[in-house]
Amino acid sequence: MTTPPDQPQTPPSNSANLPNLPNLPDEQPASRTAQPSYDSMGLGRTPGQRGAEILAGLRAEIMNTPESAALARLSGRIVARILRSLQSRNLAGINFIGARLYGMKELARRALPPGDQPATVVEVAAGFSPRSIEFAQAHSHVTVIEVDLPDVVEEKQKRLQRARMIEIPANLSWLSADLGVTPLAAVLEGRQVDVIVAEGLLAYFEPSESIRIARQFRDSLKPGGVFITDLPRRQGILDAQSQSGMRMFSRQAGSFLTIADGEEGAQQLFSEAGYVDVQVHYPSTLAETLNLATPVFDYEYLVSGRNPATEAPPLKRLPLRRPPPRPPRHQQQAAPHRRRTTKRRAATRPLIKRRRAEPGQRSSAHDCVQHITREVSLARNT
């Protein structure tokens, strides 16, 4: 049966590949990046959509791949060209886009179980990034799930459907939710996965909220699973404030609220969320390893943390040992007084009594000391 011409065709959803993971119903957005705001460039009604459109346009302009071109819109590419012209003297800032995209992809590959064991990778706040599609194409034994706002998921599926040269892998599916409101565990219905990737998510929340979201992601990770995300560097953001292109992007996508003060700050955030084996990576280093375009400006850290394999056992509380109750004072028996005497005291006591019994007798202090010393020596020899 064909669809009437007056009704638009909806792209087929790959959620049928995972019957246990149905799409959640649309909900009222409440997180900061999901709240509608004024759109002056026709990029999207929310800061999250506008940021995703600009990044998609930049990836289409920088990377010559069918996936990047299909996921970019004309308005996003126009804004991307403006940003490139503003950043013409700072190629390192433009190269950061590709280094972050493929750097996080490489970290996700390293976090997979060894061999071709079945695994599940979830990418949250993916926007119009081609990373999940490329990852699903390269690893057919891995189930890849994207979670994003309902409007973003619907628009991304439409763009991929219009791109006839791109075949959506069977191991890729989508779920829609606002993770600033709904925990990921509720979206996945309690299912635990091996790797969670979140690009451009935690930076737009307050530090306490970022820790809360990262802690909630642990509920959806298997023991030993890995969480990978990006965190802005304090020094990188300070250096970027002098760049007009970055200021323009911040006005459209929103300003950062969670910023890491050095590598220790990034590690501390993950540690407070309960992760272990926290590793901090620089996009420039990963770009050199992957033979990507260099130089790369390190605006952000790429951070990975592992869910503890076993939860720490709770401390065993020993029972309190209370002393036996004391009887009332009138019932208490006085303990017999025991005087502990030594040979020295036993030897000197008769002398003291005798001298006290003869108060009229006078002797010098020197004679008294000599007499006491003689008596003690006799007591020791006997």
Contact 197, 121 (CB under 8 A): yes
| Distance, first Cα to last Cα, the chain | 125
**Whole-angstrom Cα distance, residue 55 to residue 370?**
104
How many Cα atoms sit within 13 Å of 162 on the Cβ side?
A: 12
| pLDDT reported for residue 151 | 86
Total domain count, the chain:
1
Enter the pTM of the model. 0.73
| Res 23: pLDDT | 45
pLDDT of 330 reads 58
In a domain, 318, yes or no: no
What pLDDT score does 88 carry?
A: 79
Q: Is the residue at 366 inside a domain?
A: no
The domain of 161 spans 40-306
Give the CATH number, domain containing residue 62. 3.40.50.150
**Residue 18 domain-assigned (yes or no):** no
For residue 68, being part of any structural domain is answered with: yes
pLDDT at residue number 250: 84
| Residue 273, domain member (yes or no) | yes
The pLDDT value recorded for residue 37 is 75
Q: What is the pLDDT along the chain (382 residues), one digit of tens a residue?
A: 444 444 444 444 444 343 333 444 444 545 666 677 777 777 877 887 888 899 999 999 998 899 999 999 999 999 999 988 888 778 898 999 999 999 999 999 999 999 889 999 999 999 999 999 999 999 999 999 999 988 889 999 999 999 888 999 999 999 999 887 889 999 999 999 999 999 999 999 999 999 999 999 999 999 999 999 999 999 988 888 777 777 888 888 888 899 999 999 999 999 999 999 999 999 999 999 999 999 999 999 999 999 998 654 444 444 545 556 666 655 655 555 555 545 555 444 454 444 444 544 555 555 655 656 666 566 556 5
| 152 found inside a domain | yes
- Please state, in angstroms and rounded to a whole number, the distance separating the CA atoms of residues 382 and 380: 6
- Name the residue with tokens 């619907």: 154
Strand segments, DSSP code E, in the chain are 119-124, 142-148, 172-176, 193-198, 221-232, 276-281, 300-306
Predicted pLDDT at 46: 80
In a domain, 90, yes or no: yes
Amino acid at 123: E
* Cα gap 90→171, rounded to integer Å: 38
Cα 283 to Cα 182, 185, 264: the distances in Å are: 30, 29, 17
> Domain for residue 342, yes or no?
no
Rounded to whole angstroms, the Cα distance separating 168 from 17 reads 12
Whether 351 contacts 377, CB under 8 Å? no
